[in-house]
Chains A and B, each alone.
Chain A
Amino acid sequence: MKIFAESHKTVFVVDHCPYMAESCRQHVEFDMLVKNRTQGIIPLAPISKSLWTCSVESSMEYCRIMYDIFPFKKLVNFIVSDSGAHVLNSWTQEDQNLQELMAALAAVGPPNPHADPECCSILHGLVTAVEALCKITEYQHEARTMLMENAERVGNRGRIICITNAKSDSHVRMLEECVQETIHEHNKLAANSDHLMQIQKCELVLIHTYPVGEDSLVSDRPKKELSSVLTSEVHSVRAGRHLATKLNVLVQQHFDLASTTITNIPMKEEQHANTSANYDVELLHHKEAHVDFIKSGDNHIGGNSREGTFKETVTLKWCTPRTNSVELHYCTGAYRISPVDVNSRPSSCLTNFLLNGRSVLLEQPRKSGSKVISHMLSSHGGEIFLHVLSSSRSILEDPPSISEGCGGRVTDYRITDFGEFMRENRLTPFLEPRRSLEIPLERAKDQLEKHTRYWPMIISQTTIFNMQAVVPLASVIVKEALTDEDILNCQKTIYNLVDMERKNDPLPISTVGTRGKGPKRDEQYRIMWNELETLVRAHINNSDKHQRVLECLLACRSKPPEEEERKKRGRKREEKEDKSEKSGKDYEPDKPWQESERLKSVLDREKEELAEAEIIKDSPDSPEPPNKKPLVTMDEMPPVEKAKGPMSLLSLWSNRINTANSRKHQEFIGRLNSVNNKAELYQHLKEENGMETTENGKGSRQ
């Protein structure tokens, strides 16, 4: 579809000369007397519209339909011509609505029948119309600016609809010649101007209108090419409703519209509230909505429109909507509609029903009698659209289920948590230009990046996200900036965890894939602290305040001081020994190893403390927790942080310490063998022959 086809610019030129004040000689009864009050009263004499009134209301109807269906990018410039040309609006989008035009028309008023006919002419209007077509619209301007050196691709075509009362065929020819000459002249002008565009194609639609009952002095003529730029057609139409009908046909031709009649609409009768009668409503819309009928040659399914206004209409049957179910239909197109008879009761009943938020499915009557839902009427924000639903067989039928593919066998996805995540990352429109120049959508992407820096996908991969106690910290740490209150909450969370550790509260550590009872309590806390550190570290570059949360976390982890720690450990050991004695053989083989390991780690700690003053890190030689997956993720994180900005002092320091530490021990086999830091680290635990590797691992440490 071309944006800058003829339909982009329509100029209406309506004759405002004295003879247009003449009556169209079609009477309108306006004084319809109500039955029981008619006695003795003679109704007022019917009135009739002038040629001017007929012309104006028909062209307004043309615009109404056009604006309903194409509120953007299809523009109208309205010109009234008498002793001069009066331009009622401009090409700007703000001027493109009925209210503006109506107000401008009211200001012009009806033609003055007593004006001097000699100084009035439609030519003024036609010349101005050509001028208007040379003027660039904001859409053309935007496209030209965007295309830069390809600006010449932006077309300038248009249509002039001229409603007048011509004197004869030769008068019509004179008007055509005038338009042609004017185009020629203005194209020359436009060639040397930055603000004007040359007219490439102009369609002149001359409508000669005359009072009903008179003979036409002008003959109809189909579209004819007058030059490479100008085509012209002549319509000779009686005024009154004939003129309105003509313009209705034209608007359909000009904007590729088609008609759909919704049939069987149940409507409550005013008098009999209990019964409902069935009504039909005819709608106009872009003809693409009928693409299935047109292409399959099935366009005979509709009858002729009741009043013979249009050649054909497609009839679709109303299906009373089910209760407000929210469904995502497969919709291949949605087109704005405009009711043909906008103020009739059936039309307004239908449109009000839709505007209140209900959708209606439409059924296509088929010869075979089978039921096919092919369309849906639905309103979005006060605009009604005809949705085309796909009714043919799907090429995607019977696809492999998602549970059969990659990751399909995993059963502990954090579905609910991710649902919460999605709700937090919903989008909302930002209308006014915001203070910051950042594009809202980029902010949305940015937020997703932050929120996913550490986001384990399955329950068994995480401890902290299974703990209610961590929520206050986890929910705020992902933020771009923290308030003092946020920090306080984070600190509270950390203290709370320290407290839990002191009280030796159980943690929701997954035992999936581990043997026996899984890690011991203090190991569990180590896993948890590690994971929490991973989460916080992923965000330390967000702000100084994030850094403070990490500082708090590190400080708390290192507490209580060594003395207490040792005491506590001793106490714990006793407890555990008690327990393990009870729990029997399963624990036995582990015990000596763990004890010696623990002793060693305590010694290491003391050494380290001497060397590195306050910074107390986990001893690298302390036993690795058997299910320490978070570390894998942590290993992934540093590159991200680096990419996010300059290195912080902390990361410089931690790097230095890490390298110092790494010199003190042999690198883990798993880490050495890892690919891109993604190690199939504890794969062996899930498999039969995994045992061997684990033992090897231990051996190498001892």
Chain B
Amino acid sequence: MPTVVVMDVSLSMTRPVSVEGSEEYQRKHLAIHGLTMLFEHMATNYKLEFTALVVFSSLWELMVPFTRDYNTLQEALSNMDDYDKTCLEAALLGVCNIVQQEWGAAIPCQVVLVTDGCLGIGRGSLRHSLTTHNQRSESNRFPLPFPFPSKLYVMCMANLEELQSSDSLDCLERLIDLNNGEGQIFTIDGPLCLKNVQSMFGKLIDLAYTPFHAVLKCGHLTSDVQVFPRPEPFIIDEEIDPIPKAINTDLEIVGFIDIADISSPPVLSRHLVLPIALNKEGDELGPGITDDTEDENSANQIAGKIPNFCVLLHGSLKVEGMVAIVQLGPEWYGMLYSQADSKKKSNLMMSLFEPGPEPLPWLGKMAQLGPISDAKENPYGEDDNKSPFPLQPKNKRSYAQNVTVWIKPSGLQTDVQKILRNARKLPEKTQTFYKELNRLRKAALAFGFLDLLKGVADMLERECTLLPDTAHPDAAFQLTHAAQQLKVASTGTSEYTAYDHNITPLQTDFSGSSAERM
């Protein structure tokens, strides 16, 4: 989940803060201090997160495009100038553009807005934006809700009392509401000082940037892993079950399926599964081992040499072209597979299916999947040449069952032509002729289109008169018989209009005996 840090660099951010120490601090410095802490945390614990830095006043500027280079971000923090007034709407619009250009509309992003709670004056101020919110046309839509899934975190360099004294807090709360409630406002507890800023950013880190650790299990084979990015809780149906579901920290493999069978399934999100060496507290890792980076490197090297289940699993999934089905919670599943980033690099990846008992129709109900050893005979065949997947649905879809649609005249004409074509090739085409005839009859009865039956009957009678001398005598019999049957059906009398009734070929002597002779 990429992060955009949106930093307020308006003049109000330079307001001094009375700090017990001798040095004079501005709110800006507090903000920089907090962001430094955030970036440091990410650089060590959340390395793979892409972060961009935007500064804004009445204008906005992308200081650092999305990067994992936290040094660059740190440096940028120290190169910020002070500008004029706060104009949040323009900045949020900028965020929309930046994110969509980079990631499209489907990838969730976290927007961390750092401001002092002075939301500007006049046109472009948040107050102005909110009051005009209802009078907007589609073309100058307010940027919230963001067009991508998002969380908006507002980090206020002010305490609650200060914000409440004006209507700033209300405005910010409306901002979160406009983002469909996705987000949160953080304020400084107590006096403005470095320590309290730290604790505020600490809360943000706890909420949004703690790595997700889990245990990957396959029977007794296990591995400690980090799942990146953190899987987000999911709401299945806001009405019936409004409580967001989070995934288990035990990721339990339940079995395996060929890639061809799982067949590019739709997923909610995908995540890297990175094996980690947990140095459990209390374990004697030896004194000093984690102290400096050199020892850390050697610790990494040791970890690299200890066999890890993830690596084994990844290797075999890759070689066999399979995925592992993993249970993430009650009625929630996902899959593990090898994902190649380039020719050399590949990784163990996990994709989450939509929660529910049957996320993929072609696999059926997940709970009904069992081991092949329970089946009477191996469903994959002795030579591994078949597969029990995909499951066939009970009812065929319209395009797979030759439905009759006569909304356009061409549909009707094609069906009549088919009958006519086969009529001219009687008696060879007897079977197809009656098949098409019965299809037409059924549809006409269902649609109450009895005139058509009469019309086609007339047409068949005419065909009968047009038969060439060379025609097989059976052709005339069948045509007359078919025409007569359609005629009785067109009367609408119930005994002839049974839907399930089929017109069967007339049993003629020559058709039977001629077939025998041949």
Which residue of chain B has its CB nearest to the CB of A374? Answer: B104
Give the complex CA separation of A422 and B106 in angstroms: 33
* Interface residues of A, dominant DSSP: mixed
Whether A331 contacts B220 by the Cβ 8 Å rule is no
A369 near B: Cβ within 8 Å?
A: no
Whether B260 contacts A326 by the Cβ 8 Å rule is yes
Give the complex CA separation of A699 and B316 in angstroms: 44
Instruction: List B contacts of A429 (CB < 8 A).
Output: 363-365, 368-370, 388-389, 391
With contacts A97-B395, A448-B218 known, is A332 near B266, CB below 8 A? yes
Interface string of B278-306 (1 = CB under 8 A from A): 00000110000000000000000101111
Whether A440 contacts B370 by the Cβ 8 Å rule is yes
B397 near A: Cβ within 8 Å?
A: yes
A516 near B: Cβ within 8 Å?
A: no
With contacts A67-B398, A395-B103 known, is A427 near B448, CB below 8 A? no
A419 near B: Cβ within 8 Å?
A: yes
Of the residues A155, A292, A424, A428, contact of B239 by C-beta under 8 Å: A155
Whether A399 contacts B315 by the Cβ 8 Å rule is no
B126 near A: Cβ within 8 Å?
A: no
With contacts A106-B442, A351-B400, A445-B252 known, is A401 near B220, CB below 8 A? no
A441 near B: Cβ within 8 Å?
A: yes
A451 near B: Cβ within 8 Å?
A: yes
Whether B310 contacts A406 by the Cβ 8 Å rule is yes
Segment from A159-167, A254-262, A337-345, A491-499 that makes contact with B: A337-345
B219 near A: Cβ within 8 Å?
A: yes
From residue B285, how far is it (CB to closest CB) to chain A in Å?
A: 11
Instruction: List B contacts of A407 (CB < 8 A).
Output: 223, 275, 303-312
A402 near B: Cβ within 8 Å?
A: yes
A64 near B: Cβ within 8 Å?
A: yes
B122 near A: Cβ within 8 Å?
A: no
Interface string of B59-71 (1 = CB under 8 A from A): 0000000000000
B313 near A: Cβ within 8 Å?
A: yes
Of the residues B257, B413, B446, contact of A427 by C-beta under 8 Å: B257
Give the complex CA separation of A390 and B344 in angstroms: 23
Give the complex CA separation of A408 and B307 in angstroms: 8
Of the residues B104, B264, B320, contact of A327 by C-beta under 8 Å: B264
Whether A449 contacts B414 by the Cβ 8 Å rule is no
Instruction: List A contacts of B396 (CB < 8 A).
Output: 382
A527 near B: Cβ within 8 Å?
A: no
Of the residues A382, A406, A419, contact of B320 by C-beta under 8 Å: A419
Chain A residues numbered 404-450 whose CB sits less than 8 Å from any CB in chain B: 404-410, 413-416, 418-419, 421-431, 434, 439-441, 443-445, 447-450
Of the residues A57, A328, A338, contact of B323 by C-beta under 8 Å: A328
Whether B313 contacts A401 by the Cβ 8 Å rule is no
From residue B396, how far is it (CB to closest CB) to chain A in Å?
A: 6
Whether A392 contacts B106 by the Cβ 8 Å rule is yes
Whether B372 contacts A424 by the Cβ 8 Å rule is yes
Give the complex CA separation of A30 and B409 in angstroms: 8
Instruction: List A contacts of B48 (CB < 8 A).
Output: 396, 399
Interface string of B435-455 (1 = CB under 8 A from A): 000000011011111111001
Give the complex CA separation of A545 and B238 in angstroms: 53
Chain A residues numbered 53-100 whose CB sits less than 8 Å from any CB in chain B: 53, 56-58, 60-61, 64, 67-68, 71, 97-98
Interface string of B373-409 (1 = CB under 8 A from A): 1110001100010001111110111111001111111
A660 near B: Cβ within 8 Å?
A: no
Whether B364 contacts A431 by the Cβ 8 Å rule is yes
A334 near B: Cβ within 8 Å?
A: yes
Whether A383 contacts B397 by the Cβ 8 Å rule is yes
Give the complex CA separation of A47 and B448 in angstroms: 13
Give the complex CA separation of A61 and B406 in angstroms: 10
A692 near B: Cβ within 8 Å?
A: no
Whether A405 contacts B275 by the Cβ 8 Å rule is yes
Interface string of B339-363 (1 = CB under 8 A from A): 0010011111101000000001111
Of the residues A359, A378, A382, A441, contact of B369 by C-beta under 8 Å: A441
Instruction: List B contacts of A461 (CB < 8 A).
Output: 307
Instruction: List A contacts of B366 (CB < 8 A).
Output: 441
Give the complex CA separation of A424 and B375 in angstroms: 12
Q: How many residues belonging to A are interface residues under a CB distance threshold of 8 Å?
A: 139
Which residue of chain B has its CB nearest to the CB of A345? Answer: B414
A2 near B: Cβ within 8 Å?
A: yes
Whether B398 contacts A425 by the Cβ 8 Å rule is no
A638 near B: Cβ within 8 Å?
A: no
The number of residue pairs between A and B whose CB atoms lie closer than 8 Å in the complex comes to 432
Whether B259 contacts A291 by the Cβ 8 Å rule is no
Instruction: List A contacts of B384 (CB < 8 A).
Output: 423
A628 near B: Cβ within 8 Å?
A: no
Whether B447 contacts A105 by the Cβ 8 Å rule is yes
A143 near B: Cβ within 8 Å?
A: yes
Instruction: List B contacts of A455 (CB < 8 A).
Output: 219-221
Whether A56 contacts B399 by the Cβ 8 Å rule is no
Whether A382 contacts B393 by the Cβ 8 Å rule is yes
Whether B416 contacts A427 by the Cβ 8 Å rule is no
Whether B267 contacts A103 by the Cβ 8 Å rule is no
Chain B residues numbered 237-257 whose CB sits less than 8 Å from any CB in chain A: 237-241, 252-257
Give the complex CA separation of A53 and B255 in angstroms: 52
Chain A residues numbered 264-323 whose CB sits less than 8 Å from any CB in chain B: 291-292, 295-296
From residue A236, how far is it (CB to closest CB) to chain B in Å?
A: 20
Chain B residues numbered 156-189 whose CB sits less than 8 Å from any CB in chain A: none
Whether A452 contacts B218 by the Cβ 8 Å rule is yes
Segment from A107-115, A213-221, A502-510, A572-580 that makes contact with B: A107-115
Instruction: List A contacts of B443 (CB < 8 A).
Output: 102
With contacts A413-B315, A450-B219 known, is A378 near B264, CB below 8 A? yes
Which residue of chain B has its CB nearest to the CB of A479? Answer: B373
Chain B residues numbered 396-436 whose CB sits less than 8 Å from any CB in chain A: 396-400, 403-414, 416-417, 420
Whether B264 contacts A47 by the Cβ 8 Å rule is no
Give the complex CA separation of A291 and B380 in angstroms: 38
Instruction: List B contacts of A418 (CB < 8 A).
Output: 312-313, 315-316
Instruction: List A contacts of B266 (CB < 8 A).
Output: 331-334, 387-388
A653 near B: Cβ within 8 Å?
A: no
Which residue of chain B has its CB nearest to the CB of A23? Answer: B451
Which residue of chain A has its CB nearest to the CB of B109? Answer: A395
A4 near B: Cβ within 8 Å?
A: yes
Which residue of chain A has its CB nearest to the CB of B420? Answer: A34
Whether A241 contacts B399 by the Cβ 8 Å rule is no
Residue from B48, B370, B375 having most chain A Cβ neighbours under 10 A: B370
A488 near B: Cβ within 8 Å?
A: no
Give the complex CA separation of A217 and B407 in angstroms: 25
B371 near A: Cβ within 8 Å?
A: yes
Give the complex CA separation of A157 and B348 in angstroms: 45
A186 near B: Cβ within 8 Å?
A: no
Whether B397 contacts A384 by the Cβ 8 Å rule is yes
Of the residues B2, B277, B306, B399, contact of A348 by C-beta under 8 Å: B399
Instruction: List B contacts of A328 (CB < 8 A).
Output: 259, 262, 264, 323, 337
Of the residues B229, B312, B327, B360, contact of A415 by C-beta under 8 Å: B312
Give the complex CA separation of A105 and B271 in angstroms: 51
Whether A640 contacts B105 by the Cβ 8 Å rule is no
B100 near A: Cβ within 8 Å?
A: yes
From residue A618, how far is it (CB to closest CB) to chain B in Å?
A: 25
Whether A71 contacts B393 by the Cβ 8 Å rule is yes
Give the complex CA separation of A410 and B275 in angstroms: 14
From residue B252, how far is it (CB to closest CB) to chain A in Å?
A: 7
From residue A259, how far is it (CB to closest CB) to chain B in Å?
A: 16
For the complex with contacts A343-B414, A351-B399, A407-B308, 14 further pairs of A-B residues with Cβ separation under 8 Å are: A97-B395, A101-B446, A106-B442, A110-B492, A381-B389, A395-B50, A396-B228, A401-B347, A405-B303, A406-B275, A406-B306, A427-B370, A430-B370, A443-B370
A-B pairs with beta carbons under 8 Å apart, 20 shown: A3-B239, A28-B409, A30-B409, A30-B456, A32-B417, A56-B447, A68-B398, A109-B494, A326-B259, A342-B398, A355-B399, A396-B228, A407-B306, A407-B310, A408-B308, A409-B304, A427-B256, A429-B388, A431-B364, A457-B307
9 closest A-B pairs by CB: A407-B308, A440-B370, A110-B448, A452-B219, A392-B104, A381-B390, A380-B362, A295-B105, A106-B499
